[in-house]
C-alpha cells in the first residue's frame, strides 16, 4: 500500500489553492504588464534595444514562463505526489526562473511604468543614506546570498515543509520566498554591469552560497531514514528523499560552478586586455626617449 495515504491540502481541487493560483497569475500578469510598459517607454525615448538590450527583455519573459510552468501543469502534478517532484519545482524557481528574472533588469522599466508620485517616492528612498549604502554591490550581494541560504534551509526543515504541504497559503509563501531570494541573489551576478560587485567577490559569493546548499542536499541524500513524515513523501519514502537530495545537490553545484568559472574567466580576459595597451605603450615611450637623446 502506498505510503501517501492522506490527501495534500493544496490539491488541484482545493478552493483555497484555486484562489491563490488565480491571485498569483494576476500578480504575474501585472508584473509583466508593468515591465512591458516600462520597456516600451524606454525604447520609445531612446530607440529599440537602447539601454535595455532585447536579450534582457527576452530573459525576463522566459523567467515569467518558467514561473508559470513550475506552478502549473506536469511539474505541479508531480510535486503533488512526491518530495522529488517538489524539489524539482524548487530548483526551477531557484536555478532557472530566478536567474532569468534577474537578467531582465526590471528596476528601470518598472520605475518608468510607475505613477509619477510613486516614482518620486522611490527616488527619495534610493537617495537616503541607508539605502545608498545598502545598494552598494559589495554590501547588497552578501546579504542576498545569505537570504537565499536561510530561506532554502528554512523551507526544507521538516516543520515548515510539512506546513507548506498541508496549507495552500504557506505553500504559496514558500514559493514566493524561494523565488524572491533567488531573484535578489542573481541580480548582482546577472543584472546591469554597474550594479555588479567585483569579480572576485562574485566568485566567493557563488561558492559560499553553493556550499550550504550542497550540505543540505547531502543530508537529504545520505540520511539513513526519512527526515520527513512518510505521508508527505512518495510511495518509497527513503528513495524519494534521496532523489530529492540529489536534485538539489547536483544541479545547484553544476549551475553555480559554471557561472563562477565564467565570471572568473571573464575577469582574467579583462585583465589581459587592460595590460595589452600598457605593454604596447612602454616600448613606444622607450623608443621616443631614445630618439630624443639621439
Q: Is residue 188 situated within a structural domain?
A: yes
pLDDT of residue 221: 92
Q: Is residue 171 situated within a structural domain?
A: yes
Give residue 149's domain range. Answer: 15-293
Q: What pTM did the predictor assign?
A: 0.81
pLDDT of residue 191: 80
Of 126, 133, 276, 144, the residue nearest 201 (C-alpha)? 144
pLDDT of residue 115: 82
Low-confidence ranges of the chain (pLDDT < 70): 1-18, 274-294
Q: Is residue 265 situated within a structural domain?
A: yes
Q: Is residue 2 situated within a structural domain?
A: no
d(CA 112, CA 94): 27
Q: Is residue 111 situated within a structural domain?
A: yes
pLDDT of residue 274: 65
Residue 119 and residue 207 in contact, taking contact as beta carbons nearer than 8 Å: no
* Alpha-carbon distance values, 166 to 3, 161, 199, 292 (Å): 16, 9, 42, 84
Q: Is residue 215 situated within a structural domain?
A: yes
Q: Is residue 9 situated within a structural domain?
A: no
pLDDT of residue 34: 87
* Alpha-carbon distance values, 278 to 198, 249, 273 (Å): 22, 44, 9
Number of domains the chain contains:
1
Residue 161 and residue 228 in contact, taking contact as beta carbons nearer than 8 Å: yes
pLDDT of residue 285: 47
Q: Is residue 3 situated within a structural domain?
A: no
Burial of 193 from C-beta contacts in 10 A (0-12 / 13-18 / 19+): exposed
pLDDT of residue 275: 60
Instruction: Tell me, letter by letter, the H, E, C secondary structure of 179-240.
Output: HHHHHHHHHHHHCCHHHCCCHHHHHHHHHHHHHHHHHHHHHHHHCCCCCCCHHHCCCCHHHH
Q: What angle (nearest 5°) sits at the alpha carbon of residue 282, between those of residues 280 and 287?
A: 105
Amino acid at each position: 500500500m502506498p505510503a501517501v495515504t492522506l490527501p495534500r491540502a493544496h490539491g488541484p481541487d482545493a478552493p483555497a489553492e484555486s484562489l491563490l493560483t488565480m491571485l498569483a497569475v494576476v500578480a504575474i500578469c501585472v508584473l509583466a504588464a508593468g515591465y512591458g510598459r516600462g520597456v516600451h517607454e524606454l525604447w520609445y525615448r531612446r530607440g529599440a534595444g537602447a539601454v535595455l538590450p532585447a536579450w534582457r527583455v527576452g530573459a525576463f519573459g522566459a523567467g515569467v514562463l518558467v514561473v508559470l510552468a513550475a506552478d502549473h501543469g506536469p511539474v505541479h502534478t508531480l510535486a503533488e505526489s512526491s518530495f522529488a517532484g517538489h524539489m524539482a519545482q524548487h530548483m526551477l524557481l531557484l536555478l532557472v526562473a530566478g536567474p532569468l528574472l534577474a537578467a531582465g533588469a526590471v528596476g528601470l522599466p518598472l520605475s518608468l511604468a510607475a505613477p509619477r508620485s510613486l516614482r518620486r517616492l522611490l527616488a527619495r528612498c534610493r537617495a537616503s543614506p541607508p539605502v545608498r549604502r545598502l545598494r552598494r554591490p559589495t554590501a547588497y550581494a552578501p546579504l542576498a546570498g545569505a537570504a537565499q541560504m536561510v530561506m532554502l534551509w528554512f523551507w526544507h526543515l521538516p516543520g515548515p515543509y510539512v506546513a507548506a504541504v498541508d496549507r495552500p497559503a504557506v505553500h504559496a509563501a514558500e514559493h514566493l520566498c524561494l523565488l524572491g531570494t533567488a531573484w535578489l541573489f542573481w541580480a548582482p551576478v546577472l543584472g546591469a554591469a554597474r550594479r555588479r560587485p567585483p569579480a572576485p567577490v562574485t566568485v566567493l559569493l557563488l561558492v559560499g552560497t553553493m556550499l550550504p546548499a550542497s550540505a543540505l542536499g547531502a543530508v537529504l541524500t545520505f540520511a539513513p531514514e526519512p527526515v520527513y513524515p512518510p505521508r508527505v513523501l512518495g510511495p518509497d519514502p527513503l528513495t524519494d528523499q534521496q532523489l530529492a537530495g540529489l536534485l538539489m545537490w547536483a544541479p545547484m553545484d553544476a549551475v553555480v560552478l559554471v557561472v563562477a568559472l565564467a565570471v572568473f574567466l571573464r575577469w582574467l580576459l579583462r585583465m589581459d586586455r587592460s595590460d595589452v595597451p600598457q605593454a604596447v605603450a612602454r616600448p613606444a615611450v622607450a623608443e621616443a626617449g631614445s630618439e630624443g637623446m639621439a
